[in-house]
Structure 1
Amino acid sequence: MPIKRWTIAVAAICALGAASCTSDDTTTDEPELTEVQADACEALIEFGLWEPPEGDPTEADLVEFRSFFERIQAGSDGEGAEAASSAIELTNEVIETENFELLEGPEIGQAMGTVGVVGRDVCGYEEIDLGVEETPEEEGSPATHEFVGVPDTLTPGRYSIQLDNDQENFHLVIVAKVPDDYEGTVDDFAQLDEDDAIATVEWYAAGAFAEPEQTAYLTADLSEPGRYFILCPVTSEDEEIPHHAQGMIKEVTVS
């Protein structure tokens, strides 16, 4: 069953154990920002760690959700500001109509995926550009999904991750911090069921999802050294196995 977009995009499955990385030991030469621009950059990080409610959100939940985009819009312009404005308008419509299905639609998804461009256009974060490769299922061979362009190592800092999806399936990129006491490999993690996977790692950055032929952006604070998984937990409608169990997961060491 496909994972609901409201859940994965906002909370990186469920955001259990998420904790903000606040170390100042970064290598990014960030530009001098105005107070409003700096707040927009912080809103990108905070939004990635925000834990949404279970079930239908209350008006207070939606107001808090909207506030991230209001802060981002105030400190940006161009494509990022337009995406923030679109998210604000859609959230206002949900508040007015209580039509929660709008939170599962492609319009809010595209806005949430595009607003992250502010991380590179305004905040000046280091850039990681990812691509996607797919191999369809054939007789005797299962389908595979893979990220292209994931680095093996990174220096501590904040990063703007771009996901360029030129394939046929919807894809998502999320970042998870691997606890120091977890000795398993990427392959071990990929075989865990959803509950065990959620309990194993700390979800550091909410997902940026891209429809076919679209590009999405994710802002991740990787200031804390250690192991991280970059993965796509989506299950395509014609498949039963999530993409990260079909190869769409990579490990990155921040040191």
Structure 2
Amino acid sequence: MSQQEFKVTTAEDWARTDQYHNSFLHTKDEILDAALKNSTANGLPEIAVSAAQGKFLNLLVSSIGAKRILEVGTLGGYSTIWLARALPDDGELITLELIEKHAKVAQENIDKANLTNKVKIIVGPAHESMQQLHPETPFDFIFIDADKKGNLDYFTEAKRLVRKGGVIIVDNVVRYGRVADPEYTDTNVEGVRRLLKGLKGDTDVEATTIGTVGDKGYDGYLYAVRK
């Protein structure tokens, strides 16, 4: 691509691009649409992953043949449904949610998606819930999308709970580029910075950050593999 072909893009460009690509690569999904609608109707914040991100998670789970998933942060269960659909019939997903109301809505959405037999919601502080998990078989895939202040604590427990060669994804680690802006600070940004500082020199994982743009704006995820 020549320099002349570059252009300054906007959030509208990113959203339009997501919609355009999704029109070819996604089919209408009434279950997922209903999950979002039910979550909004019950007053849950509209911060679930996008459809493209949800399918990406689904494909990642499928690509590594995961049978056991841990999700940190359930919200209304939208990402939970994407993840659980990639599991085999004997697969299991445990998802951790702090707020009882969110867990109730998520359970409704999971039940409507006919995934009740694969998904278990644990209500309570996620870090405490993770500390209480001592599975005989480690998880293949862990998705962390909860309060950003706790990122490093969640990641530290995730390393203990995931198998060697397993994948840990941490969402929302770019935050419109604010994480890399030394003049900017807030609780969420500092939580991501703490995670990155904790990962520097970490010999337990290999990790990288991938920036993303789309109908959820400019953000990114951390992709780590347990060594």
Shared fold, TM over 0.5: no
Q: Which has the higher contact order (CA 8 A, sep 6+)?
A: 1
- What is the TM-score when the length of structure 2 is the normalising length? 0.31
Q: Which has the higher helix share?
A: 2
